[in-house]
Amino acid sequence: MRIVFFGSGAFGVPTLDALIAQHEVVLVVSQPDRPAGRGKVMTPTPLAARAAERGLRVIKPEDVNELETRETIRGLHADAWVVIAFGQKLSRELLDGVFAINLHGSLLPAYRGAAPIQRAVMDGCAETGVSVISLAERMDAGLVYATASRPIESRATSDEVHDQLSLLGPAVMSDVLARYAAGTLVGAPQDESTATRARKLSKAEATIDLAAIDARTARALINGLNSWPGCTVLLGDVPVKLLRVVECAGAGTTCGAPGVFGPDGVIATRSGAIQVIEIQPVGKRAMPIAEFLSGRSRLIGSPVLPVVAAGT
């Protein structure tokens, strides 16, 4: 089949690679290059960079729905359009009469919206997955053609779950395209009564008072906020990011007062306790907790205070 691929984020890279092997990807549409890093160097999106490596034709419109861009894309007369983490909404005029499908990072209708993977981890879900859906006027509300699921490990971060889910994309997308080509593809409507939203993350959510929440909530929030915006706290007089934590089995008040940094990176919460596994002093590299504590034993017994994040 002739495929037009719309994508920007790394989430779509494994599926793009699979489609190149199975079909003819005639065009990749991605977001424009943006400044990145300390030097603010103009940098292509992960998907655009991969497409260029594979020798594909790539365009990067500021507005994919602009007339000239619409005509370029539609003029290719592709058999199907695949949309994964693209970042722009496709208009009715662009989509008219086209078979277009989207890979979404949740088991729809749960977690419709901008941050489905992070929200699933932050909510402490036991599993999540991906859905291939038709494009609809309302966000992520199209017919469901296929799903695939996997468990969320208790110590997994959002970045890790993101990468795990991206690897589910090739199989489900290939299955949907094969059924479409065979004329056997049937989609199921979503149950609107069970739909939930996954709103975009904000820096304000990085402010967490560990003394005010239980251990399960703390673990889910900290791991879910990794890598952005991260959970920054003041450990005594040292600002740090808590990158990965686990719940302490059977931990009670023996860990110390809630919100106090104990031996081995154990922190009592309102109920139960967590243990810090990975930590990052602000402005320095990430490191295991044992390395961080080497030479910093004075911090044991210090309060763990939330840092109010600036910006959005």
Both 43 and 94 in a single domain?
Answer: yes
Q: What is the mean pLDDT of the chain?
A: 95
Task: With respect to residue 241, please indicate whether it lies within any of the assigned structural domains.
Answer: yes
Both 10 and 90 in a single domain?
Answer: yes
Both 210 and 194 in a single domain?
Answer: no
Residue 33 confidence (pLDDT): 97
CA distances from 272 to 123, 142, 259, 266, 268 (A): 17, 41, 11, 10, 6
Assign 295 a pLDDT band (cuts: 50, 70, 90). confident
Both 258 and 240 in a single domain?
Answer: yes
By residue range, what is the domain housing residue 181? 2-198
Domain count, the chain: 2
Among 165, 198, 231, give the residue marking a domain's end.
198
- Report if pTM > 0.75: yes
Provide the token pair at 68: 């000239």
Provide the token pair at 10: 């790394």
CATH of the domain at 159: 3.40.50.170
CATH of the domain at 287: 3.10.25.10
Both 86 and 172 in a single domain?
Answer: yes
Both 185 and 211 in a single domain?
Answer: no
Both 154 and 53 in a single domain?
Answer: yes
Task: With respect to residue 38, please indicate whether it lies within any of the assigned structural domains.
Answer: yes
Q: Whole-angstrom Cα distance, residue 223 to residue 110?
A: 20
Both 123 and 166 in a single domain?
Answer: yes
What would the pLDDT profile of 64-80 be if each residue is shown by its tens digit? 999 999 999 999 999 99
Both 243 and 273 in a single domain?
Answer: yes
Q: Which residue has the higher pLDDT, 309 or 251?
A: 309
Both 175 and 230 in a single domain?
Answer: no
Stretch 212-226: mean pLDDT, rounded? 97
Task: With respect to residue 311, please indicate whether it lies within any of the assigned structural domains.
Answer: no
Both 194 and 254 in a single domain?
Answer: no
Residue 255 confidence (pLDDT): 62
Among 178, 198, 218, give the residue marking a domain's end.
198
Task: With respect to residue 30, please indicate whether it lies within any of the assigned structural domains.
Answer: yes
Q: Alpha carbon 261 to chain centroid distance?
A: 30
Both 161 and 235 in a single domain?
Answer: no
Give the bridge partners for 134, in sequence order.
101
Task: With respect to residue 312, please indicate whether it lies within any of the assigned structural domains.
Answer: no
Question: Is residue 253's pLDDT more than 70?
Answer: no
Residue 308 confidence (pLDDT): 82
Q: Which ranges of the chain does DSSP label H, i.e. alpha helix?
A: 13-22, 46-53, 67-74, 92-95, 116-122, 158-166, 169-182, 215-224, 289-293
Amino acid letter, 55 = G
Residue 37 confidence (pLDDT): 85
Among 167, 198, 229, give the residue marking a domain's end.
198
Instruction: Assess contact for 221 and 231: CB atoms under 8 A.
Output: yes
Q: Whole-angstrom Cα distance, residue 17 to residue 89?
A: 23
Q: 124-163: string of b/e by CB count within 10 Å (b at 16+)?
A: ebeebbbbbbbbeeeebbbbbbbbbeeebeeebbbbbbbb
What would the pLDDT profile of 85-136 be if each residue is shown by its tens digit? 999 999 999 999 999 999 999 999 999 999 999 999 999 999 999 999 999 8
